[in-house]
């Protein structure tokens, strides 16, 4: 992947929320509560640095998606600031937002359904380059982005209907990467996916973090997925970060009641301090499609013989989450 793509920010420019508060005013629902103010984010400080995946977990309604929308500059916070490389983001005109939109991109929950079926992979991946007025050779950038998600030039002319589910997800990630984005924000990108597909997507994201130095903000109910991908995680409850730290610590030794409650909802998640990380086996697309057999993280650790799925936190070689079989 080309690091030379200029987003307008330094390649290592971090995305940060500082003291972010956000509220909505109810307009629908119970008429007795209409007009009432709903505080959704209550003083959130969070930094997402290129080269690190940060898990954002919390119960439904805790404010995870709202936080992502604010971090994406889709909504201005009621209070506090969002900065990139220390530069405050002012949610303003399309033109002024361009450098930010190049640097910080979104991975949708169901990429397959967000890809326009009439467009080719080339058109889909180059579309943000056109819209965000990215200079340079777009074909080169598209190929580099596809390469970063282990898809070759043979995919350029394919339509979404000619892609497997895993390939469609990877095209969506390539589309987010093509602008040279250094921060990817994903809201439940693996929810509802079967396990091999989930592992395929996690492998691609893990490779991007490790090999390309991309930063990822990863919202997920799937704590195991957070353990696989994210070195660090924060727990949101009532719009506040109530616990944060290495994801393995949160998974093995939760301190806050909210974290314990989330973990209790997944009693099958047993954590063993075992090292199972394997390195170096790239997930090239060689027709293995969605079987999830490739990759250094969860997929590579799957032990079919025992049924144990051994997964390791991306930068925590000494610890793995092992769901009880």
Ligand X SMILES: Nc1ncnc2c1ncn2[C@@H]1O[C@H](COP(=O)(O)OP(=O)(O)OP(=O)(O)O)[C@@H](O)[C@H]1O
Residue closer to ligand X by CB (options 66, 312) is 66
Cα separation of 208 and 206, whole Å? 5
Stretch that binds Mg ion, among 65-73, 87-95, 104-112, 280-288 (CB under 5 A): 65-73
Could you give the string, one character per residue 59-88, with x where binding to ligand X holds by CB under 6 A and - elsewhere?
Answer: -xxxxxxx----------------------
CA 249 to chain centre: 20
Q: Which of 3, 38, 94, 318 binds ligand X (CB under 6 A)?
A: 38
Q: Decide if 177 contacts 207 (C-beta within 8 A).
A: no
Strand pairing report for 53-58 and 215-219: parallel
Instruction: Residue 2: count other Cβ atoms within 10 Å of its Cβ.
Output: 16
Cα separation of 248 and 238, whole Å? 23
Q: How far is the CB of 162 from ligand X (least distance, A)?
A: 31
Residue closer to ligand X by CB (options 62, 247) is 62
**What is the full DSSP assignment across 277-310?**
---------SS-GGG----SSHHHHEETTTTEE-
Q: Which of 12, 24, 137, 157 binds ligand X (CB under 6 A)?
A: 24
Task: Pick what 66 binds: Mg ion, ligand X, none; C-beta below 5 to 8 Å, kind-dependent.
Answer: ligand X
Q: Which of 18, 65, 81, 164 binds Mg ion (CB under 5 A)?
A: 65
Site residues (CB under 5 A) for Mg ion, limited to 176-215? none
Q: How far is the CB of 66 from ligand X (least distance, A)?
A: 3
First CA to last CA across the chain, in angstroms? 38
Task: Pick what 62 binds: Mg ion, ligand X, none; C-beta below 5 to 8 Å, kind-dependent.
Answer: ligand X
Residue closer to ligand X by CB (options 39, 212) is 39
Stretch that binds ligand X, among 55-63, 113-121, 174-182, 195-203 (CB under 6 A): 55-63
Q: Which strands sit side by side in the sheet containing 183-187, from one edge to the other?
A: 104-107, 183-187, 215-219, 53-58, 232-237, 240-246
List the structure tokens of 264: 């209790």
Size of the site for ligand X (CB under 6 A): 11
Residue closer to ligand X by CB (options 197, 262) is 262
Q: Which of 1, 13, 14, 40 binds ligand X (CB under 6 A)?
A: 40
List the structure tokens of 119: 């467009």
Binding of ligand X by 58 (CB under 6 A): yes
**CA nearest 185: which of 74, 290, 61?**
74
Sorted by sequence, the CB contacts under 8 Å of residue 11 that are 6+ apart come out as 3, 50, 182, 213
Site residues (CB under 6 A) for ligand X, limited to 94-113? none
Q: Is 269 left (phi over 0), alpha (psi -120 to 50) or beta?
A: beta
Residue closer to ligand X by CB (options 32, 161) is 32
Q: How far is the CB of 49 from ligand X (least distance, A)?
A: 23
Cα separation of 209 and 215, whole Å? 6
Residue closer to ligand X by CB (options 79, 281) is 79
DSSP state of 222: -
Q: How far is the CB of 71 from ligand X (least distance, A)?
A: 12
- What residues line the site for ligand X (CB under 6 A)? 24, 38, 40, 58, 60-66
- What residues line the site for Mg ion (CB under 5 A)? 64-65
């Amino acid at each position: 992947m080309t690091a030379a793509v200029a987003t307008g920010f330094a390649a290592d420019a971090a995305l940060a929320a500082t003291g972010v508060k956000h509220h909505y005013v109810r307009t629908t629902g119970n008429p007795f509560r209409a007009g009432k103010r709903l505080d959704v984010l209550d003083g959130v400080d969070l930094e997402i640095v290129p080269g690190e995946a940060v898990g954002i977990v919390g119960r439904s309604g805790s404010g995870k998606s709202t936080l992502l929308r604010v971090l994406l500059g889709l909504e201005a916070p009621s209070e506090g600031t969002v900065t990139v490389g220390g530069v405050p983001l002012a949610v303003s005109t399309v033109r002024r937002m361009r450098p930010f939109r190049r640097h910080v991109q979104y991975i949708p929950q169901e990429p397959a359904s967000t890809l326009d079926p009439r467009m080719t992979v080339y058109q889909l991946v180059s579309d943000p380059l056109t819209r965000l007025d990215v200079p340079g050779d777009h074909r080169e950038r598209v190929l580099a982005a596809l390469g970063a998600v282990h898809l070759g030039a043979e995919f350029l002319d394919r339509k979404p209907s000619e892609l497997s589910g895993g390939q469609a997800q990877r095209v969506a990630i390539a589309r987010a990467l093509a602008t040279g984005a250094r921060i990817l924000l994903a809201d439940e990108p693996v929810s509802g996916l079967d396990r091999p597909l989930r592992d395929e997507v996690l492998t691609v994201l893990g490779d991007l973090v490790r090999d390309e130095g991309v930063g990822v903000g990863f919202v997920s109910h799937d704590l195991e997925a957070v353990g696989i991908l994210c070195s660090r995680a924060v727990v949101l409850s009532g719009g506040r970060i109530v616990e944060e730290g290495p994801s393995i610590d949160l998974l093995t030794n939760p301190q806050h009641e909210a974290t314990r409650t989330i973990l209790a909802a997944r009693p099958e998640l047993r954590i063993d301090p075992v090292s199972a990380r394997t390195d170096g086996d790239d997930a090239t697309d060689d027709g293995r499609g969605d079987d999830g057999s490739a990759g250094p993280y969860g997929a590579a650790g799957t032990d079919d013989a025992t049924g144990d799925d051994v997964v390791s936190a991306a930068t925590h070689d000494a610890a793995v989450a092992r769901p009880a079989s």
